[in-house]
Structure formats: C-alpha cells, structure tokens
Amino acid sequence: MEVDTYYQQQMNPYNIKPFENADQEQIIKVWEKSVLATHDFLLHEDFVELKALVQTINFHQLEVYCLEQNLEIVGFMGIVGQKIEMLFLSPEHIGKGQGRQLVLYAIQKHNVNKVDVNEQNQKALNFYQKLGFRAFDRSEKDDQGKPYPIVRMEYS
C-alpha cells in the first residue's frame, strides 16, 4: 500500500510534529514506560544506566518527531541520516497502528531504510518485518557493549 494512500485512509487523531524543547520531559516518560513494557530482558542496573544516558541526550542532534494525541506525546522517533535510531510508544498505544504511522512517515518523508532492533525484542522484530524490513547483520552486543544482541535491518 502506498504511504500517501495509507494516510488518506486514516481517520486518526494523531499528529506527527518535530521535537521542541518543551517535549523533552514527555518523551523521556514515554521512553521509560515503553522500555519497562517491552524490554523485559534488560537487567535492572542496565535499565537505570540507560535511563541516565537518555536523560542526557541532546534531542536536537537527531531528527526527532513526536506523535501526539490531544497535545499529549504518546510516542516519538529519532532519525539520523536514513536510519531510525529510536522509536518508542506509550504501552497503551503499542499494537494500534501508531508505530506504523511513525515508520511510514520516516520512509516517505526521510527516505529511512535502516533500523537496529534488540534481538530479544521479538515483537519489535516482527513489527519491522511486517513493514518490509529484513535482517542483514547481527552483533552480539549493543552499542554500549552490553550483551544484548542487535539485529540490523534494512527496508526493501
């Protein structure tokens, strides 16, 4: 299905907007809720370390887009070049089409064609596969050198 057709067919109350400084607190809350709901493979101390790292991110160094509903941020995605570096949704919005909306926006508007996914996050792997991403590489450790294998995927 063409991306434009997908948007035209949707009667949805969600809006994608560029990140603003005022959004930072909300997206960090979305990140935390999302990771707690989807990354049950993370050790507690690794979660605490990641949370501290996320709180120091300068979100202006990425192209960050927020998904909002009624002026509340319910998800966000960060892009660098043609790669989705992060995509998180509040748990109550997972599985309802909003992640798809963000990814299709990234493909259409930013020519995104790559994403890295934690191998233990099977739902995320399935999600990206359904959208047309295929694995092309794997590493035993994540970008912080932790033993969380990463699957590198590209859009075809």
What average pLDDT does the segment 88-93 reach? 96
Which DSSP string corresponds to 33-51?
A: HHHHHH-TTS-HHHHHHHH
Strands 114-118 and 83-89: parallel
> Which whole number is the average pLDDT over 34-53?
94
pLDDT grade for 3, boundaries at 50, 70 and 90: low
Residue 30's closest CA among 83, 81, 69, 84? 69
What is the pLDDT averaged over residues 123-149?
Answer: 95
Query: Would you state the pLDDT for residue 23?
Result: 95
User: 31 is written with which tokens?
Assistant: 């990140």
pLDDT band at 13 (very low <50, low <70, confident <90, very high): confident
What domains appear along the chain, each with residue ranges and CATH number?
3-155 (3.40.630.30)
Q: What is the DSSP letter of 91?
A: G
CA atoms within 13 A on the CB side of 114: 12
Band the pLDDT of 8: cuts 50, 70, 90: very low
Q: What is the mean pLDDT of the chain?
A: 91
Burial status of residue 73 (CB atoms within 10 A of its CB: 0-12, 13-18, 19 or more):
buried
Q: How confident is the model at residue 11 (pLDDT cuts 50, 70, 90)?
A: low
Q: Say whether 38 sits in a helix, a strand or coil.
A: helix
Span 18-47, average pLDDT: 95
Answer yes or no: is pLDDT of 12 > 70.
no
